[in-house]
Amino acid sequence: MRQVEIIVALLTIIGIVGALAQKLKIALPILLVLTGMVISLTPNIPPVHLEPDAVFFIFLPPLLYLDAYNTSWRKLKDVADVITLQAVGLVLATVAAVAVALHVVVGLPWAAAFALGAIVSPTDAVAASAISKEIHLPQRVMNIIKGESLVNDATGLVAYQFAVAAAVTGVFSWAEAGQRFAFVSLGGIAMGLAIGFVLARLRTKLEHRPVEIIVSLLSPFIAYLAAEHIHVSSVLSVVTAGLCLGWHGPSMQTSTTRLQATANWETIIYILNGFSFLLMGLQLRPILETVKKYPSEQIIVSTIVAALAPTVVRFAWIFTVAPIYARLKKAKLPSWKHLFVLSWSGMRGVVSLAAALALPLTCVNGDQFPYRDLLIYLTVAVIASTLVMQGITLPYLVKILEFEPDQYNAEEAERKLRLALSREAVRSIDSLARERNLDLEDPRLQKLLNRHLERAIANIGTETPDPGTEEIWHNLRKDIIGAQRKKLIALRDDNAIEDQTFRVLQNELDLEEAQMKIVGVTDDA
């Protein structure tokens, strides 16, 4: 019963903090972490432990999946080279820099230092996604930040596995590490593509709405478990499957199913986000208790070094590698403002904490894992410093830098797209009416035509409809919406519109179709 009470209490806190975050205009993850830390330090509050398995299996798959599902693979493709440099090169550079700093300055053994470097090397996709909602950055910069955080977990976790294995066994092989990384990464992508293809075909054939929503909710776990079973990157598998299913989403779901699934996903992700960041903050007191045995000077120096090293190496890498790479490509040199924001966006999160908590207790010779308690504490210090300090200051930094607006005008593009859909509706009304031998002068047809010409929401006719012909008019409206939907998807496939604009108008068509079903005929009742 105590576990149920804890869950209810945590849900209540998430709801209250969520309302405060919206009112104070502070990113929810930051406020939840701070709240968790305050609660954790409060006397007589029982400790709440965060299990690594819960993060890696319960929290991580759906959070990564939905981010990937709502991300345009075309945008990722446009910045794929930069993302690869960040997700592989920068992660490995961070592992090495943190390890060297802790070994030289603090005196940690190489094995423990490399383990911490691997733990804090990847940026957090959940934090990046949540904080990015509060700021308005140039589209390319935002794509790099989100894309990097989606895929760099794979590099970090592979480095983590080898660092821990070296600490536990005392054996390390560069050749084996390189081969393993290639197998894990490429295998994860291949598994994600296969799972995405199978699930897309399956979900297209499903006609039972609750079952389809259940399959939707299970999709990230299927991709995760399948990759785990053959020991490839479960992170890349989930991300790849999410990108694949996100692309096929408009054609594999009915409007009603999509609206209900979207509402379910939004609620579930909000709760999972809340639990992950709140539980992260609640780990503070138990972790502080474990490091009391270390000298205070060592704790202070270790904290400063561990917190600064990832940020310093990120600045050095981005300001050095990005201009060099741009020159090699003979591309336009990136603005220093863009480079600064990219450097300041390296938030760490719950994946790093879960990896630290998952460190083994002992080595193969029976000795305790070197500095395990200190590594967990330092991981919390890095997460807190990057998430709180950078997360809070990033919106103000973006405002001060005053970025030039993107050349792409979303409002103008949406206006043109609405015009194209209205034209498609008018064209389909004329075509379908002639095909079905309907009277073009019929008042109801004229009202339907005017409705799309004026983009106004109104019912068809005010008089009581003729029961013998009402189904004809419902079917006509449904087919018009279907024609608009095909036009919308065709424009997306031709790369004529942005994915965000596509989703806005797809949702409007879904709502229009759902409204039509409420008053009469349904297609999947």
Burial (CB count <10 Å: 0-12, 13-18, 19+), residue 209: middle
Residue 462 Cα distances to 426, 440, 447, 466, 516, angstroms: 22, 19, 10, 12, 15
SS3 101: helix
Tokens of 146: 């989100």
* Domains of the chain by residue range: 2-400, 410-518
The count of residues in the chain is 525
Output the tens digit of pLDDT for each of the chain's 525 residues: 477 888 899 999 999 999 998 888 788 888 999 999 999 988 888 888 888 888 888 888 998 898 888 887 777 888 888 998 998 999 999 999 999 999 999 889 888 899 999 999 998 876 776 666 667 778 888 888 888 888 888 888 888 888 888 888 777 677 777 788 888 889 999 999 999 999 999 988 887 888 889 999 999 999 999 999 998 989 889 999 999 998 887 777 777 788 888 889 989 989 998 898 898 889 888 898 888 888 888 899 999 999 999 999 999 999 999 999 988 888 888 889 999 999 998 889 888 988 898 898 888 777 888 889 999 999 999 998 988 888 888 888 888 888 776 555 556 666 677 767 777 777 777 777 777 777 766 777 767 766 665 543 333 333 444 444 556 666 777 777 888 888 888 888 888 878 778 888 888 888 877 776 654 443 333
For CA atoms 180, 183, 184, 185, the dihedral sign is positive
Tokens of 136: 């308005």
Q: Residue 458's pLDDT is what?
A: 32
Cα separation, 9 vs 31, in Å, equals 17
Residue 438: enclosing H or E segment and its boundaries? none
Quote the pTM value: 0.75
SS3 188: helix
Give domain 2-400's CATH architecture.
Up-down Bundle (1.20)
The answer to whether the beta carbons of residues 243 and 67 sit under 8 Å apart is: no
Q: What is the 3-state secondary structure (H, E, C) of 353-370?
A: HHHHHCCCCECCCCCECC
Q: State the number of CA atoms in the 13 A half-sphere of 306 facing the CB.
A: 31
Cα separation, 201 vs 205, in Å, equals 7
Cβ neighbors of 479 (< 8 A, separation 6 or more) are 428, 432
Beta-carbon count within 10 A of 9 CB: 12
Cα separation, 111 vs 165, in Å, equals 9
Cβ neighbors of 27 (< 8 A, separation 6 or more) are 21, 130, 131, 133, 134, 391
